[in-house]
């Protein structure tokens, strides 16, 4: 969305114009669904979190301050991430994976080769990580949070966030390697 169009949309949103809210939804719902589904696996939960996020956007648009191109998208993305995290924390089953969870720490001398792997497949591999690993990985990589910030957000120790991230990265590298090997091997019966 061009800066001028975005600025016009923001002013229409501030006036609570119904058509502007529909436009916001049409333009951004796909990317916001993608963001939300990085954290939450269940489709119905993703839908609920997005719905709550749009309600929150509507209620708090007056506090939004336009700061140039991309600021609207950044603001609504932050709301979706925060609502996703709130949903995760409400889940009584949420836990970060303990140190006793067995995964071999593989040396990370070289990053996995991501050529010939679609973005969709990489997303599926990230989504297959245990919830705690996936949450820390997403916050560190996509939201660019420090381990100190992640620890505060999730209520865990900073070194636990660091450990969770390195284990997630190691597990993801292994999954990528396994995926690539499965694609390279001919199918035999």
Q: In the chain, which segments carry CATH 1.10.10.10?
A: 119-184
Question: 3-90, what's its fold?
Answer: Rna Polymerase Sigma Factor; Chain: A (1.10.1740)
Whole-prediction pTM? 0.80
pLDDT tens digits, residue range 107-143? 444 566 667 788 899 999 999 999 999 999 999 999 9
- pLDDT digits 0-9 by tens, 64-75: 999 999 999 999
Q: Where in the chain is the domain with CATH 1.10.1740.10?
A: 3-90
Q: Is 144 left (phi over 0), alpha (psi -120 to 50) or beta?
A: left
Q: pLDDT tier at 39 (50, 70, 90 boundaries)? A: very high
| Class at the top of the CATH hierarchy for domain 119-184 | mainly alpha
Is the pLDDT higher at 36 or at 97?
36
Nearest in space to 135 (alpha carbons), one of 98, 175, 84, 177? 84
| Mean pLDDT, the chain, integer | 87
**Cα distance between residue 158 and residue 89, in whole Å:** 17
């Amino acid at each position: 969305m061009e800066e001028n169009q975005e600025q016009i949309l923001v002013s229409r949103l501030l006036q609570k114009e119904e058509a502007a809210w529909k436009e916001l939804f049409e333009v951004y719902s796909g990317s916001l669904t993608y963001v939300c589904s990085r954290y939450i696996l269940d489709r119905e939960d993703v839908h609920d979190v997005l719905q709550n996020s749009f309600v929150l956007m509507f209620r708090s648009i007056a506090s939004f301050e336009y700061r140039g191109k991309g600021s609207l998208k950044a603001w609504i993305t932050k709301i979706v991430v925060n609502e996703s995290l709130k949903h995760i924390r409400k889940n009584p089953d949420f836990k970060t994976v303990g140190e006793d969870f067995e995964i071999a720490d593989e040396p990370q001398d070289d990053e996995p080769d991501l050529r010939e792997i679609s973005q969709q497949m990489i997303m599926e591999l990230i989504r297959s990580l245990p919830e705690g690993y996936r949450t820390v990985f997403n916050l560190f990589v996509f939201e660019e949070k420090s381990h100190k910030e992640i620890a505060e957000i999730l209520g865990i120790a900073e070194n636990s966030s660091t450990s969770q991230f390195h284990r997630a990265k190691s597990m993801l590298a292994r999954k990528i390697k396994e995926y690539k090997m499965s694609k390279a091997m001919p199918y035999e019966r």
